[in-house]
Amino acid sequence: MLKNKHILLVVAGGIAAFKALDLIRRLRERGAEVTPVLTTSAEEFVTPLSISALSGNKVYRDLFDLTAEAEMGHIELSRAADLIVVAPATANIMAKMAQGLCDDLASTLLLATDKRVMVAPSMNVRMWEHAATQRNVATLKNDGVLFVGPNEGDMACGEYGPGRMAEPLEIVDAIERAFQTGPLSGKRILVTSGPTHEPIDPVRYIANRSSGAQGTAIAQALNALGAEVVFVTGPADIAPPSGVEVRKVQTAGEMLAEVEDALPCDAAIFAAAVADWHIDGASASKIKKQAGALPTLKFAENPDILAKVSKMGKGRPGLVIGFAAETDDVIAHAQAKRDRKGCDWIVANDVSPETGIMGGAENAVTVISDAGIDPWPRMTKKQVAVRLAQNIAKALEG
């Protein structure tokens, strides 16, 4: 719920501005008060009248509006809010924010505020991918600006890719998360999950049996304790949790790139079953069956994401947790793995087929850390996740 929360909603001029109407309704449904600010170009997409009617509030538009300035100055407006949300956030307004430009009411409010700011980017895929926009995104993230989306999909301009504004309900979820309190609030935690798919050719791939159940449950449990979770997942059977930032990947290489992009984080939990190898020189076209000739696959090693992050020195998350799925000598192998990879904790489990753990609902884990070897009783993967999240909260506190 967002009861008594005051959201200053800046609507910039993009085609997704029409979704701001629904966003206002959803925010009010949850008890928030919404003060809308429109840029001049936003008025080309939505009318001040409809925004005002839905928000039940005056719409602020002009930096030099004397009546508005007399009622509530722009500085006050930017400070009276609990959170400023820019939706849609165009490439232009993000560029202004990154540079500290203030040539209209919206950008002036954004520069004058001492409150947290969340942006929901919306733009053409090429504009989103442009080096300038990506530089601005990095600057804004570094300044502590919260991001929701953009999503990938069909765009109003007919192209496909990242750049679609997050849906109003996703934005509302992100706003609720921003207000969440709990032992992990203010902490940013990375979770990898699921299998990876390593292509042989465009239609065939090498995979493993990970369902993503444990990683998903961990992301959910961390989120429930108030953490901001970045969830990097391979193609898993289980749907990703809601309320977390989801980054979907296929291969180990892509997973590493997303993990590096998600840093810095306070903690990182590597629950993914990453393929150890990929096919060297995967074929760009489908390999044809030829009578009497079998294809030969040449393997090459994948990056060890856990080891890389554990040993990264500057910028290393304060707590790095790995998993060790073993079928024999579980503890000894897990201890050796912890030493080899350099992670802080390792969560070891026996995945022999008779345990039913791989792909099942239960898990029996032993947590190995500097504090020693801690065997947990068999419980559901959700219970493992909750206990692990509580332990993480304690470790980050101390």
Positions touching ligand C5P (CB under 6 A) are 192, 252, 270, 272, 274, 302-306, 322-324, 337
What type of residue sits at position 221?
A
CA 131 from chain center: how many Å? 21
CA angle (175, 232, 376) in 5-degree steps: 95
Q: Report whether 128 contacts 151 (CB < 8 A).
A: no
Report how far residue 141's alpha carbon sits from residue 281's, in angstroms, rounded to the nearest whole number: 36
Per the listing, tokens 């509006």 go with: 65
For ligand C5P, give the closer residue by CB, 122 or 196. 196
For ligand C5P, give the closer residue by CB, 132 or 336. 336
Closest Cα to residue 274, out of 332, 228, 235, 317? 235
| Nearest distance in Å: CB 271, ligand C5P | 6
Specify which residues 34 forms β-bridges with.
Answer: 7
For ligand C5P, give the closer residue by CB, 57 or 355. 355
Closest Cα to residue 231, out of 212, 214, 245, 211? 245
Report how far residue 345's alpha carbon sits from residue 389's, in angstroms, rounded to the nearest whole number: 13
Closest Cα to residue 103, out of 137, 143, 63? 63
DSSP SS3 for 255: helix
Compute the radius of gyration of the chain from its Cα atoms: 24
Specify which residues 19 forms β-bridges with.
Answer: none
| Nearest distance in Å: CB 134, ligand C5P | 25
Instruction: Please say if 157 is a catalytic residue.
Output: yes
For ligand C5P, give the closer residue by CB, 125 or 319. 319
For ligand C5P, give the closer residue by CB, 128 or 270. 270
Residues assigned a catalytic role: 157
